[in-house]
């Protein structure tokens, strides 16, 4: 069963560029009214105008997801304009090089930036919207993690019947982690899985579904920056074909499909999208019993 999203409302964080931008567009095409926020003012303005042209209502706020007052501001504005919130997409993310051997001062600053955005941002937005979702009888939360720990080779994560073998050649297990130069990125993203599972369990009775996406390399502002990818426009399509990066639009279509599952849809899943595999929502996993049985 799928439900219509027409007239629903959602918050998408980090919507100025990249995958969040694609999430916002895909939801707008479904008729979802949106609050978007970001720290990139000009790009935020641009996407707000595009969403407005699609014909939905848009609330756009310059806000840093790691700052509690900014988070409260976005959610308060959303509630006063739309009356409630049906969907939160906690997408805003950032990357900085951080290593086990870094000194304490650099590490302190990296913590604020990377964990502040990638983990605290998800935590704060969740805390801010959950009371409103409960008050309105339910909702959906989708947290954006990464494939560094949960990917095609991980048991119970990848379950397309017709998926080809893990493109990394070891299936399972595949090597995990983003490498030695992103310990805080990996730690913050991994921690999102804890929130997703815990919230899915805690909020099941309140009709709130909580899932995560843990995709691999997806074409975006961040990925292009990370790889210093700035090709001659004539070469771009050929290079992208060679790399096989996933398209943000395809991931966004999966988000729409997930939300359209409606009240009976899945919850507590960390949904993987991996290079070399079809980009589509995998079949639902069996409901983990721990989600619905109280711990004794
Ligand atoms: N692109 C990939 O390959 C990939 C893979 C796995 C997970 N992800 C995750 O997907 C999400 C989107 O990433 P992307 O690749 O589109 O990156 P991106 O850099 O292209 O877009 C991220 C957006 O978040 C915004 N942002 C960053 N810090 C913020 C903050 N403190 N407050 C508000 N907004 C902030 C940025 O300005 C930008 O608009 C991130 O959480 C990222 O970690 C990306």
- Tell me if 281 CB under 6 Å of ligand 1: no
Q: What is the pLDDT of residues 193-211, one digit of tens each?
A: 899 999 999 999 999 999 9
Listed in order, strand segments (DSSP E) in the chain are 9-13, 33-38, 58-62, 87-90, 139-144, 208-215, 270-273
Say how many Å lie between the CA of residue 184 and the centre of ligand 1.
15
Model confidence at 178, in pLDDT bands (50, 70, 90)? low
Average pLDDT, the chain: 89
pLDDT confidence of residue 122: 98
Say how many Å lie between the CA of residue 188 and the centre of ligand 1.
13
Say how many Å lie between the CA of residue 15 and the centre of ligand 1.
8
DSSP state, residue 212: E
Helices (H) and strands (E) in the chain, counts: 9, 7
Q: What CATH number does the domain containing 167 carry?
A: 3.40.50.720
Q: What mean pLDDT is predicted for residues 184-200?
A: 92
Q: Is residue 230 part of a domain?
A: yes
pLDDT confidence of residue 143: 97
Nearest CA to ligand 1 atom 19: 222
- Tell me if 64 CB under 6 Å of ligand 1: yes
Say how many Å lie between the CA of residue 226 and the centre of ligand 1.
12
DSSP state, residue 167: T
Highest mean pLDDT among 51-60, 191-200, 227-236: 51-60
pLDDT confidence of residue 198: 93
pLDDT confidence of residue 283: 81
- The alpha carbon dihedral of 73, 111, 199, 146 has a sign of positive
pLDDT confidence of residue 285: 75
Q: Is residue 251 part of a domain?
A: yes
Q: Is residue 77 part of a domain?
A: yes
- Tell me if 220 CB under 6 Å of ligand 1: yes
**By C-alpha distance, which of 67, 68, 66, 34 is closest to 50?**
34
Range of the domain at 37: 9-291
Say how many Å lie between the CA of residue 93 and the centre of ligand 1.
4
Q: Is residue 3 part of a domain?
A: no
The total domain count for the chain is 1
Say how many Å lie between the CA of residue 37 and the centre of ligand 1.
12
Q: Is residue 45 part of a domain?
A: yes
Q: Is residue 84 part of a domain?
A: yes
Ligand 1 pocket mutation pick from 17, 72, 94 by most atoms within 8 angstroms of CB:
94
Nearest CA to ligand 1 atom 32: 64
Whether the pLDDT of residue 173 is over 80: the answer is no
Ligand 1 pocket mutation pick from 75, 93, 182 by most atoms within 8 angstroms of CB:
93
- Tell me if 272 CB under 6 Å of ligand 1: no
Q: Is residue 296 part of a domain?
A: no
Q: Which atom in ligand 1 lies closest to the alpha carbon of residue 213?
A: 7
Ligand 1 pocket mutation pick from 20, 68, 118 by most atoms within 8 angstroms of CB:
20
Render 58-90 in DSSP notation, one character per residue.
EEEEE--TT-HHHHHHHHHHHHHHHSS-SEEEE
Phi, psi of 54 (to 5 degrees): -65, -25
DSSP state, residue 279: -
pLDDT confidence of residue 156: 44
Instruction: Return all residues near 294 (Cβ < 8 A) that are at least 6 apart.
Output: none
- Tell me if 74 CB under 6 Å of ligand 1: no
């Amino acid at each position: 069963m799928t439900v219509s999203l027409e007239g629903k409302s959602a918050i998408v964080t980090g919507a100025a560029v990249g995958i969040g931008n694609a999430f916002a567009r895909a939801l707008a095409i479904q008729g979802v009214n949106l609050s978007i926020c970001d720290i990139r003012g000009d790009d935020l303005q641009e996407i707000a105008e595009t969403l407005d042209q699609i014909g939905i209502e848009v609330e756009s706020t310059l806000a840093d997801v790691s700052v509690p007052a900014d988070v409260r501001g976005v959610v308060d504005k959303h509630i006063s304009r739309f009356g409630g919130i049906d969907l939160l997409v906690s997408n805003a993310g950032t990357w900085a090089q951080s290593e086990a051997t870094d000194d304490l001062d650099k590490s302190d600053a990296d913590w604020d930036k990377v964990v502040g955005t990638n983990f605290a941002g998800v935590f704060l937005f969740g805390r801010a919207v959950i009371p409103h979702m409960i008050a309105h009888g339910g909702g959906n939360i989708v947290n954006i993690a990464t494939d560094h720990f949960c990917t095609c080779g991980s048991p119970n994560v990848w379950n397309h019947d017709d998926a080809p073998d893990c493109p990394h050649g070891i299936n399972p297990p595949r090597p995990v982690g983003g490498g030695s130069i992103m310990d805080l990125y990996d730690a913050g993203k991994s921690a999102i899985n804890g929130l997703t599972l815990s919230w899915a369990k805690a909020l099941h009775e309140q009709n709130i579904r909580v899932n995560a996406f843990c995709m691999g390399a997806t074409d975006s502002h961040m990925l292009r920056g990370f790889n210093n990818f700035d090709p001659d426009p004539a070469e771009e399509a050929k290079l992208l074909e060679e790399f096989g990066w996933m398209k943000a639009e395809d991931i966004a279509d999966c988000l729409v499909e997930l939300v359209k599952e409606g009240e009976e849809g899945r919850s507590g899943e960390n949904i993987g999208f991996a290079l070399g595999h079809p980009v589509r929502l995998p079949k639902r996993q069996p409901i983990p019993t721990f989600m619905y049985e109280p711990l004794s």
